[in-house]
Amino acid sequence: MTTLQKGDQAPSFSGVDQDGKTHQLADYAGKKLVVFFYPKASTPGCTAEACDLRDNYARFEAQNYALLGVSADSAKAQAKFKDKYEFPFPLLADEDKVVIQAFGVWGPKKFMGKEYDGIHRTTFVIDEKGIIEEVITDVKTKVHASQILK
C-alpha cells in the first residue's frame, strides 16, 4: 500500500495525541522511532499489537527507541484505549488522516467480501536522522515487538 521504502526520508509529520499534545518527527531526532499504524482502538488485533509493544517497552527503551501509535480514532477513544491497557507511549488521534496519508497507509481494504477504505496495519522504523530503516506491512500482532527488535 505505502510507497515509502527503506532509505527514504520519513514524512515530516505533526499530530496530536490522546491528551492534546503535539508530536512531530523533529521531536524524536537522536532517537529511533517506531510509528505503528493500526485500524481501530480497542479491537482485538489492535489491542494484541499494542499490548505486545507495551510488554516489551523496556527492551525498546534500552535500545533508544520511542514508540508512537496512530489511528483515525478520536482523542477520547485513544485516551480510553491508552488508560485501559496502561500504554507507556502516546497514541495520535489522526481523525483528519493527515499523518495516515503522509505515510500512505490509507486505502482500499477487503473484509468478509466487502471493500472499503481504511488504515493498513503498517509499522515504520525510523532512525535517529529521520530515515526509514524498515517498513513492516505483514504485522504479526501478538509478536510485533520481536518483528521490530529481531
Quickly name the fold that domain 14-149 has.
Glutaredoxin (3.40.30)
Strand partners for 32: 65
Q: Specify the higher pLDDT residue, 28 or 1.
A: 28
**pTM listed for this prediction:** 0.95
Assess contact for 132 and 125: CB atoms under 8 A.
Answer: yes
Question: Catalytic residue positions?
Answer: 46
Question: pLDDT tens-digit profile of 86-127?
Answer: 999 999 999 999 999 999 999 999 888 999 999 999 999 999
